[in-house]
Amino acid sequence: EAGVSPPALPRSPQRLKAAVHYTVGCLCREVEEDKDVQFSKQSIAAIAEITFRQCGTAGLPGECFLVLCRHAKRTTVTTEDVKLLARRSNSLLKYITQKSEELASSNTEKKKKKSSAAKGERTEDQEADVTENEDSNMA
C-alpha cells in the first residue's frame, strides 16, 4: 500500500503505525515498571496493531464519528462525540468527562484573556491596532 495513499493524507499509514508503535512502547515501559513485568517485542507490536485498528472502522471511532456528525449535520468531530465512545464503562466515562472539563476550563482561561483585551478595544479609546489592555487582563 506504500505510495498509494491519497494526496490529502500527509503521512503514510506505515509512518502512522510507527508513531503509534513508539507511543505504545513508551506506555508499556511504564507498565513494566509499575507491575514489575516484561513485555515481549511481539506483545508490544500486537498492542500497537490493535490500537491502530481501534481508530478504524472496526474499532472505537471510525464510521461512528461520521454517522454522528452527519446526523448532527456537522463535519467536525467534537469532544461530545469522543465522550460517547467512552460510554460503555462508567469509570472511563467519568475519567474522560473530567479530562474534557479540564480542557474546557483551560480554554475558557485563554478566552478570558483574549476577550478582556478586546473589551479594552471597545472603550472610548478606539485604537486602530489590537493592543493588550493590561488593566483588565487580570486573572
Partner 1 sequence: MEERGAGGFRKDTVDRLLRLHFRDARTRVNADAQLLMAELLKVFVREAAARAARQAQAEDLEKVDTEQLEKVLPQLLLDF
Q: How far is the CB of 60 from partner 1 (least distance, A)?
A: 7
Tell me the three cell numbers of residue 25. Answer: 512502547
Contact 80/94 with Cβ under 8 angstroms? no
CA distances from 110 to 13, 21, 22, 46, 128 (A): 35, 33, 32, 40, 23
Q: Which residues bind partner 1 (CB under 8 A)?
A: 6, 8-11, 13, 16, 19-20, 23-24, 26-32, 34-35, 37-40, 42-43, 46-47, 50-52, 54-57, 60-62, 65-66, 69, 75-79, 81-83, 85-86, 88-89, 92, 95-96, 99-100, 102-104, 106-107
Element (H, E) at 88: none
Nearer to partner 1 (CB atom), residue 51 or residue 137: 51
Q: How far is the CB of 118 from partner 1 (least distance, A)?
A: 21
Contact 84/65 with Cβ under 8 angstroms? no
Nearer to partner 1 (CB atom), residue 105 or residue 126: 105
Nearer to partner 1 (CB atom), residue 17 or residue 113: 17
Provide the residue count of the chain: 139
